[in-house]
A and B are shown apart, each in its own frame.
Chain A
Amino acid sequence: MKNSKKTILITLIPAALTLYFITQVLVPAVGNYNDLRNKFIETKNIYKETQASIEQLKNNKKLLKETEELNKQIADFDLQIPSEFEDEFFLVDLSKFSINTATQILALDSKKEKEFTINTLKDENDKTSKKKHKSKRKKQEDQTISPVTVYEKPFEIKTLGDYNRIISLVSLLENYQRKFIINGVSAKISKNDEKNPNPKIELTIEGSTFKAVSNVTDFESK
């Protein structure tokens, strides 16, 4: 009996060791492999999604083309409406115009700049639903920041010259590379020239120059 016990015992040791190996080494290894496999599959899926997303993002051509087309439309925007009023350049140009048209600039009175309201399509829509959603609209208005703010600087330019020459000056101002909107004109006969059959005219031109200030940082944060 002793021998048989010994034999069983001897047989059980490798069995136990094998069992130990299976439970402690093989099973965790398989588990580890499975975890890794799952992770791999997950990563592969993410990779595929990212790849698809990149493909979609690479398809920016349409947007780029649209933006380019739009940019063409406002190619001279910065020239027409610079980021600063640049009065010094305006004066130089005005002086050139007066020389070219043989008129005289008698006075130039600039007024305080003010914000120029831009009516976007959104604003128009807001106006229609103004009564219904007054509080909502107010909230929306508070939240909306336009990417560019336009300021207007009114000027009163008093000029002296023959009527036709003054018309030429007005025409030059209308076609000025910078946006100069004439709001009104008033004329009177020059006091020194009242008896002249073709008297010189003192024409006061009321107009405005504009500047566009970018609000990109505020716009981005919104």
Chain B
Amino acid sequence: MKTININLIGDLGKTSKTSLKNTKKGTSFDAKNQILAYILIVAVLIVFAASLGGWLLVKQMTSNLDRKLLKLNENLNTLREQETELSNFRKSLKKEKEITEFKIVIQKQLNSSFFPWSAVLKEIAAKIPKDIIVLKIEKTGNTAKSKQEAIKLKISGIIPANKKPAPLMMISLFIFNLNATQNSLLTNAKILKLDFNDKTKTYEFEIETSINNGVDIARKN
């Protein structure tokens, strides 16, 4: 079925007026919206552009910083290597110093054990009367502690009983000789033992003498 639209003049005028009004109203609304939309778009674009610019700037700065950090890390690694090297050197130096100090202690202790035997033997040779035979010289006391503890020598010997002058005189002369000189190495001599050996017909004696502290015995120190 087909319909025919009959255009009545009165209706047409009414219809066109209302539609025109409506059109006018729609245009004003769209225009406002459009402006608003444009403003929004522009604002969004500005924000976007700013963000993009900011992003590019940050990216550039990050890249620069990254390069700097890389270089800094390289330098740091070099420094660390140097530090390790120097630290090892210092360690070895400290160790060497400690060993050296210990060696000095060893040397000092051994030097303090030094006792001038040749000087003692020379002095005994110079002061011993004829016919007395020294058999043994024993050292007692520690040279390392010489300042606190006196070093003593025990001189053991014999003298034939048939010798003249009397053997006892000779022994006493020996003691006298040892005590006579003030600046000698041996001092404060005294008799410890005196025995007559019937088998060998000799007098066996033991003399104890101290070492003079005034004389530098540990000359090697």
Binding site for B on A (CB under 8 A): 3-4, 7-8, 10-11, 14-15, 17-18, 21-22, 25-26, 29-30, 32-33, 36-37, 39-40, 43-44, 46-47, 50-51, 53-54, 57-58, 60, 63-64, 66-67, 70-71, 73-74, 77, 80-81, 118-121, 146-148, 150, 163-164, 166-168, 170-171, 174, 179, 181-189, 205, 210, 212, 214, 216, 219-220
Among listed B5-13, B132-140, B166-174, B190-198, interface-contacting one: B132-140
Question: How many residue pairs bridge A and B at CB < 8 Å?
Answer: 198
Residue contact B139 to A183, C-beta cutoff 8 Å = yes
Binding site for A on B (CB under 8 A): 26, 29-30, 33-34, 36-37, 40-41, 44-45, 47-48, 51-52, 54-55, 58-59, 61-62, 65-66, 68-69, 72-73, 75-76, 79-80, 82-83, 86-87, 89-90, 93-107, 109-110, 113-118, 121-122, 125, 133-139, 144
Closest A residue to B125 by beta carbon equals A163
Residue contact A18 to B47, C-beta cutoff 8 Å = yes
Interface of B is mostly: helix
Residue contact B93 to A63, C-beta cutoff 8 Å = yes
Residue contact B117 to A60, C-beta cutoff 8 Å = no
Residue contact B51 to A26, C-beta cutoff 8 Å = yes
Residue contact A70 to B121, C-beta cutoff 8 Å = no
Residues of A contacting B134 in the complex (Cβ-Cβ under 8 angstroms): 187
Q: A67-B96, A74-B100 given as contacts; is B106 within 8 A of A187 (CB)?
A: no
* In-complex Cβ contact of B97 among A14, A30, A67, A81 (8 A): A67
Q: A26-B51, A181-B110 are in contact. List 10 more A-B contacts (CB 8 A).
A: A40-B72, A44-B72, A54-B86, A70-B100, A77-B107, A81-B107, A119-B144, A182-B115, A186-B136, A212-B106
Residues of A contacting B121 in the complex (Cβ-Cβ under 8 angstroms): 163, 166-167, 170, 185
CA distance A174 to B65 in the complex (A): 74
Residue contact B44 to A53, C-beta cutoff 8 Å = no
Question: Could you pull out 22 A-B pairs where Cβ atoms are within 8 angstroms?
Answer: A3-B30, A7-B37, A11-B41, A22-B51, A33-B58, A33-B61, A36-B65, A43-B76, A47-B76, A50-B79, A63-B93, A118-B106, A120-B102, A148-B103, A148-B106, A170-B117, A174-B116, A179-B110, A185-B117, A186-B136, A212-B103, A220-B95
Residue contact B83 to A54, C-beta cutoff 8 Å = yes
**5 residue pairs, one from A and one from B, having the closest CB atoms:** A171-B118, A57-B86, A186-B136, A18-B48, A70-B100
CA distance A73 to B104 in the complex (A): 7
CA distance A73 to B102 in the complex (A): 12
Residue contact B83 to A50, C-beta cutoff 8 Å = yes
Residues of B contacting A179 in the complex (Cβ-Cβ under 8 angstroms): 110
Residues of A contacting B96 in the complex (Cβ-Cβ under 8 angstroms): 67, 71
Closest CB of chain A to B112's CB: distance in Å? 10
Closest CB of chain B to A140's CB: distance in Å? 17
Closest CB of chain B to A189's CB: distance in Å? 6
Residue contact B65 to A37, C-beta cutoff 8 Å = yes
Closest CB of chain A to B164's CB: distance in Å? 16
Closest B residue to A53 by beta carbon equals B83
Residue contact B37 to A8, C-beta cutoff 8 Å = yes
Closest A residue to B101 by beta carbon equals A70
Closest CB of chain B to A54's CB: distance in Å? 5
Closest CB of chain B to A118's CB: distance in Å? 6
CA distance A53 to B81 in the complex (A): 12
